[in-house]
Amino acid sequence: MLLLMLRVSFFLCFLLIKLSLCADKYSRDDFPPGFVFGASSSAYQVEGAADQDGRTPSILDTYAHAGNYDGATGDVACDQYHKYKEDVQLMVDTGLEAYRFSISWSRLIPNGRGPVNPKGVQYYNNLIDELITHGIEPHVTLHHSDLPQALDDEYGGWVSRKIVKDFTTYADACFKNFGDRVLHWTTMNEPNVFILGGYDVGFLPPQRCSAPFGVNCSRGNSSTEPYMAAHYTLLAHASAARLYKKMYQDKQHGYIGINVFAYWFVPLTKTIEDELATQRAMDFYFGWVLNPLVFGDYPDVMKKIVGSRIPVFTSLESRIVKGSFDFIGLNYYNILNIKDYSSTLKMETRDFMADSAIKISPLDNGTTTFEYPITPWGLQELLEYIKENYGNPPIYIHENGQRTRRNSSLEDWGRVKFLQGHIQSLLEAIRNGSNSRGYLTWSFLDSLELLDGYESSYGLYYVDLEDPDLKRQPKLSAHWYSHFLKRKNVINFDEVLTSISNGYDIQ
Ligand code: FCB
């Protein structure tokens, strides 16, 4: 009997070990046909050449030059403007299938409105051609936090309806000049973040906010402007998407979408209050952008709480916004805990954050390091939530990656683990029916980071800022990603070291 029990438990153990080892194994080929893997960037964060060939400042230039990054700026950044050929070669060496970059509006149309700058057209033509010649799909964003300063000066940028016309004209110039080769257009990068940061709390450009919610702003109104800015952003997106679908899509055969930043929110406690607060958080942060796109209006809870401060869609606007996308881009990094904070509802002066009546805290799992806690299941939950609540639209993961200190080791195990876990969760979500079409990690190179300049980095490649040539060096994560993309074979975290030490993939 004892022998039998020993045998059974030995067998169970063996099975469990097997299962746990197999659990994190997958290969490139497990993903559906047409699924693309790549990496992301944005214009101001990598291009440099900030005042060359006719480019004028964006609100990010102004913000950086005002000292918000302790003196760091994107004047040179990674100098991709001059080094795009070298960078595309690195992408080829890595095995990337797609590269996500953004067009600098004030490089293409200096001052935001008026004639198109031929030098700007030439640069993006060069970059796009270089990518395509090497078999890499360009995925292009039109606005990534870098509104032309001139439009902010003239009418306050996103808080004015005038932006809709100027943005549509700019989008038209992009479709006209590059649409024969670009098949994936994203109008806006994470409106929810640039609006919350720029018009409510005021820590991001254009630093508009009002007391007591935001600090150090000389202008703005945190109670109303975030809602106005989101409204005009959605209208600008919808107007550009309509133009693309009417005038270009039949000829160019491309797709147009919008990007949104998402956390996965988890109630801090199991109380009903925290559960409701978590749904409210989802509606205020995510539904704010996605509900108008999918259903033609803001979430009911927002309209109820915010009342007359949230703009009303006319029926024509609602019709234009609803369904104005072929895909949704998602930026997902981590999970946050949500606590009910309904007491703020009693406040007389309200703002965006206070309206949501929630309190946010980092995931309560004891980690407080510089790096994100690695919680890939949040991505899976998020994709499931979108599938269930928003009709399962096509999704591109536009950003996902690990934050490390800029000059930390090239052996970025934390990033390897992060990527490996999230790609696996994505695969699980797809197996469960999520309509995901691509994964682009943030970021290809160590870039100027929007939150802290050159203090943190997310790159697969380290960029040596001390070197006049800004040498790029692959980190372990670049080797890991390359191994995954090229060999197309199974990778298990514990096997990575062995396989990589048998020969790096990027020579
Ligand atoms: C996102 C931004 C991106 C990058 C990452 C870390 O919110 O879209 O540009 O800075 O954060």
β-bridge mates for residue 241, sequence order: none
Residue 345 confidence (pLDDT) above 80 = no
Cα 263 to ligand 1 centre (Å): 13
Looking at residue 4, what is its pLDDT? 45
Cα R_g (the chain), whole angstroms: 23
Q: Does residue 133 fall inside a structural domain? A: yes
Out of 332, 399, 404, 456, mutate this one to test ligand 1's pocket (max ligand atoms within 8 Å of CB): namely 399
Looking at residue 361, what is its pLDDT? 86
Residue 3 confidence (pLDDT) above 60 = no
Write the pLDDT tens digit of every residue in 422-456. 999 999 999 999 999 999 999 999 999 999 999 99
Write the pLDDT tens digit of every residue in 460-501. 999 999 999 999 999 999 999 999 999 755 556 566 666 655
User: Which letter does DSSP use for residue 338 in this model?
Assistant: E
Residue 321 confidence (pLDDT) above 80 = yes
Average pLDDT over residues 360-389: 88
**Where does ligand 1 bind, in terms of residues with CB under 6 Å?**
42, 45, 189-190, 193, 261, 331, 399, 442, 449-450, 458
Q: How confident is the model at residue 369 (pLDDT cuts 50, 70, 90)?
A: confident
β-bridge mates for residue 137, sequence order: 98
Looking at residue 491, what is its pLDDT? 57
User: Which letter does DSSP use for residue 345 in this model?
Assistant: G
Q: Does residue 61 fall inside a structural domain? A: yes
Q: Does residue 5 fall inside a structural domain? A: no
Cα 260 to ligand 1 centre (Å): 11
Ligand 1, atom 2, residue with closest C-alpha: 450
Q: How many domains does the chain have?
A: 1
Q: Which residues are catalytic?
A: 190, 399
Write the pLDDT tens digit of every residue in 113-166. 999 999 999 999 999 999 999 999 999 999 999 999 999 999 999 999 999 999
375 close to 334: Cβ distance less than 8 angstroms: yes
Average pLDDT over the chain, rounded to an integer: 91
Q: Which domain holds residue 124?
A: 35-262+311-330+370-501
What are 17's two structure tokens?
Answer: 């070990």
Average pLDDT over residues 90-118: 98
- Measured from the CA of 261, which atom of ligand 1 is nearest? 7
Picking from 304, 5, 14, 252, the residue whose alpha carbon sits closest to that of residue 138 is: 252
Q: Does residue 17 fall inside a structural domain? A: no
Q: Does residue 405 fall inside a structural domain? A: yes
Looking at residue 503, what is its pLDDT? 57
Looking at residue 352, what is its pLDDT? 77
168 close to 245: Cβ distance less than 8 angstroms: no
Q: Does residue 196 fall inside a structural domain? A: yes
Ligand 1, atom 11, residue with closest C-alpha: 450
**Helix, strand, or coil here: 340?**
strand
d(CA 426, CA 432): 10
Out of 192, 451, 460, mutate this one to test ligand 1's pocket (max ligand atoms within 8 Å of CB): namely 451
Ligand 1, atom 3, residue with closest C-alpha: 450
Between 215-224, 226-235, 420-429, the lowest mean confidence (pLDDT) is in 215-224
What CATH number should be reported for the domain holding residue 480? 3.20.20.80
Q: Does residue 271 fall inside a structural domain? A: no
d(CA 358, CA 348): 16
Q: Does residue 6 fall inside a structural domain? A: no
What are 4's two structure tokens?
Answer: 């039998």
Q: How confident is the model at residue 259 (pLDDT cuts 50, 70, 90)?
A: very high
285 close to 192: Cβ distance less than 8 angstroms: yes
d(CA 116, CA 170): 9
What are 478's two structure tokens?
Answer: 């670049």
